[in-house]
Amino acid sequence: MKGIVASVLFTVFTGSAWGGDLRIARCDIQRVFDQYQHTIDIRSEIDRRRNVTGPQTALNSWDMHLHVRQGEELAKELKQSEPNTPEREKLQRHGEWLRLEMQLDDLEIRLEMNRREQSLKDEVSRWRDDLLSEIKAGAKALAIERGYDMVVSDSLPSAGSLTALFVTKRADDVTDELLARLNKQYASTTNQGLHPKAEKKP
């Protein structure tokens, strides 16, 4: 599922002066993002929404089904009708009307699907920003508790501009610790009803 990706260079400063001996921590921000339970829940919700047919799409699909059935019956009647008769001309006009109706049904289905997909993309963008904000807040809190002056990502973003920050001194890897911290906090707030996994809508 590629609905959400971390697309920023992740660097957290805790406010220490640059003149001293900096304590630097690093983390694989892409792995934190992918394995954060909140991300997993949102991706599941995105998949669910993509697989759900909206009420308008279902109605248009049913109309299309009815028009196809009517077209099949009309084809049988045309085959049995006599050529160059008023009855045959009437059936042919009805067939032209059915073709236009089916084209309209198909257009309405496509438009509705495009509207739903665009709405989902907008929500995905908002969710991604929220997730990155949660991860950044967690990294900053961890850095302050552990006395780090800076937390940088040692993985490049999977989308967007590729900006790298090179660190030449030793840096502790806090990926697992940050991930455990975020998942614990997320589980706690979700159980209390303060942080719903995702607002489910059709």
Quick check: 9 and 132 in contact, CB under 8 A?
A: no
Beta pairing class for 24-27 and 172-173: parallel
Digit-coded pLDDT (tens) for 50-104: 776 665 555 566 667 777 787 788 788 878 888 888 888 888 888 888 888 888 8
Digit-coded pLDDT (tens) for 17-45: 454 577 888 888 888 999 999 999 999 98
Quick check: 112 and 57 in contact, CB under 8 A?
A: yes
Indicate if the pLDDT at residue 109 is higher than 90: no
What's the pLDDT score for residue 38?
94
Fold of 11-191: Protein Binding, DinI Protein; Chain A (3.30.910)
What is the distance between the alpha carbons of residues 98 and 102, in angstroms, rounded to a whole number? Answer: 6
Listed in sequence order, the DSSP H helices in 20-85 are 29-35, 37-50, 55-80
Task: List beta partners, residue 11.
Answer: 152
In this structure, what token pair is assigned to residue 196?
A: 């719903």
What is the distance between the alpha carbons of residues 140 and 105, in angstroms, rounded to a whole number? Answer: 53
Indicate if the pLDDT at residue 191 is higher than 70: no
* Sheet with 150-153, side-by-side order of all strands: 11-13, 150-153, 24-27, 172-173
- Domain layout of the chain by residue ranges: 11-191
Indicate if the pLDDT at residue 113 is higher than 90: no
CB-based burial, 151-178: b 16+ in 10 Å, e otherwise? bbbbbebeeeeeeeeeeeeebeebbebb
Backbone angles phi, psi at 6, to 5 degrees: -80, 125
Backbone angles phi, psi at 196, to 5 degrees: -60, 145
